[in-house]
Chains A and B, each alone.
Chain A
Amino acid sequence: MGSILVNGKTQEVELPISLIDLIKKNNVEQPEMVSIQVNGEFVDRNNFDSTQINANDEVDFLYFMGGGSRC
């Protein structure tokens, strides 16, 4: 187990965890429309599977969705 920051709040999770598993674990709504920053860098959607999250990483789920961006 280790600590990461998700949307500004601390979470204890089994580490390392892939980004795709973190999306599932957090029940992220409309995952096809979410944009994700890890430590301030956007992660390409094609790399959600291969991106590993480690201790103290900061993850932000954001909705820019062309169309009705809610940000």
Chain B
Amino acid sequence: MLKPNGFTTRIIHTPYAREDAHHALHQPIYSNAAFDFESAEQMELAFQGRLPVHAYSRISNPTVENFELRIKQITGALNVTALSSGMAAVSNAIFMLASTGSNIIASKHLFGNTYVFFESTIKDFGIETRFCDLTNNEEVKANIDENTVAIFVETITNPQLEVVDLKSLSDTAHALNVPFIADSTLTPPNVFSAKDFGIDIEIISSTKCISGGGTSVGGLIVDYGTFNWSKSKKLASYAKRFGPYAFNYKLRREIFRNLGACLSPFAAFLQSLGLETLQLRFEKAANNCRELAEFLISLPEIKQVNYPGIKGTEFYEISEKQFGKFPGAMLTFDFSTREECFNFMNKLELIRRATNVYDNKTLILHPASTIYCDFDQEKKESLHVSDTMLRLSLGIEDIEDLKNDLIQAISKL
């Protein structure tokens, strides 16, 4: 059989794990909880991981598995686990590696909920997060010690849109035997190959572009099998038996199973369907983003535009090296005051006021008053979340309609 090479072809023609009884062209939705066994012996083998069958949908499910196998096809990963949300993927990955007394190296430039998870949630379990400037390798090295269990980074930080040199950071991590985890949600697998940049564990919020544009909530842990887990205090004993599969073994048999954050089969169906058009949609949205960034720069009412695809800006070169022509489909821009931001948002007629990113619709948000509303002013400033900044996530609408909406809203200020 002809082996497909193209990104979208590989998704669409990912073989089912098992032939469908009715030869359905889409993996059917198996919404049941449990699966039957022919004998007690078969059941025993299944529970030991010695038979490729499903037992209970919290643990694995055919529809979810098909989605996972498609992600595996396009990423070249060793193992993929689909979860109930992007934050479930973050928390499961961290609980895989960290114990009381561990520390994690991360930038303070993070998605708001991820920041709170690191700064507060895991602190209550005795896990420290050392917030560093991840663009400064020396600072990173100085903060790593024998209790460091991961370096965590977002490929493009949200909403600061900072881009670190991932290869350089992964070299630093691996030289010191630390696993490198990256949340690549803003740079989906059609524009960013995590494995090529030394990322051991990739986190993706599949809610965003993969889902088909905000159709459902989900997350992914993509394990490349690249880290030597014998160097991990928590996984060393698993590495002795399972080698590169050590992370996956503990994840699937303990952490993921017991935290219970499984993806629902219905969401998996939607996300699998969305994945088929990811490339088409993302390229359109990213092109919209580039064009709208240039348009916003030309408007005197806009004080500042931040988008890594703007030539000459701080992260342009590293973005191009890592993400090619499509450095995300999200930008931020500033008015003079918070009031002006609110007035502008309220005048928009087409662009929606909503908190998601990479929906098919273009979405706008004032981060300081929403995602970061629980933080005091000093904290917001330290996180570079300004009161005058708006975040715009581009959809796949026709660009002239988006420009017209911006123009009419600005004209009413």
Interface residues of A (CB under 8 A from B): 7, 29-30, 33-35, 40, 42, 60-71
B22 located at the interface, meaning its Cβ lies under 8 Å from any Cβ of chain A in the complex: no
Known A29-B51, A30-B18, A68-B68; further 12 A-B contacts with Cβ < 8 A = A29-B52, A29-B53, A34-B52, A65-B17, A65-B52, A66-B77, A67-B68, A68-B54, A68-B61, A70-B49, A70-B54, A71-B49
CB distance from A71 to the nearest CB of B (A): 3
B46 located at the interface, meaning its Cβ lies under 8 Å from any Cβ of chain A in the complex: yes
Segment touching A, from B78-86, B275-283, B329-337: B78-86
Closest residue of A by beta carbon distance from B55: A70
Number of residues of chain B lying within 8 A (CB) of chain A: 38
B50 and A63 contacting across the interface, CB-CB below 8 Å: yes
Segment touching A, from B115-123, B228-236, B244-252, B356-364: B244-252
Q: How far is the CA of A61 from the CA of B60 in the complex (A)?
A: 19
Q: B residues within 8 A CB of A7?
A: 45, 48, 50
Q: B residues within 8 A CB of A61?
A: 50
A69 and B60 contacting across the interface, CB-CB below 8 Å: yes
Dominant SS among interface residues on chain A:
loop
Given A40-B241, A71-B49: A64 and B65 within 8 A (CB)? Answer: no
Given A40-B241, A42-B243: A70 and B18 within 8 A (CB)? Answer: no
B183 located at the interface, meaning its Cβ lies under 8 Å from any Cβ of chain A in the complex: no
Q: How far is the CA of A7 from the CA of B18 in the complex (A)?
A: 22
A69 and B79 contacting across the interface, CB-CB below 8 Å: yes
B72 located at the interface, meaning its Cβ lies under 8 Å from any Cβ of chain A in the complex: yes
Q: How far is the CA of A65 from the CA of B17 in the complex (A)?
A: 10
Q: B residues within 8 A CB of A69?
A: 49, 60, 79, 81, 248-249, 252
Q: List 19 A-B contacts (CB under 8 A).
A: A7-B50, A42-B244, A61-B50, A62-B50, A65-B17, A65-B65, A66-B77, A66-B78, A67-B66, A67-B68, A67-B72, A67-B79, A68-B17, A68-B64, A68-B68, A69-B252, A70-B52, A71-B49, A71-B249
**Residue from B62, B66, B68, B242 within 8 A of A66 (CB atoms):** B68
Q: How far is the CA of A70 from the CA of B64 in the complex (A)?
A: 12
B64 and A63 contacting across the interface, CB-CB below 8 Å: no
A64 and B245 contacting across the interface, CB-CB below 8 Å: yes
Q: B residues within 8 A CB of A62?
A: 49-50
Given A30-B17, A33-B52, A42-B243: A64 and B248 within 8 A (CB)? Answer: yes
A68 and B245 contacting across the interface, CB-CB below 8 Å: no
Q: A residues within 8 A CB of B53?
A: 29, 70
Chain B, 67-91, contact with A by CB distance < 8 Å: what is the 0/1 string?
0110110000111110000000000
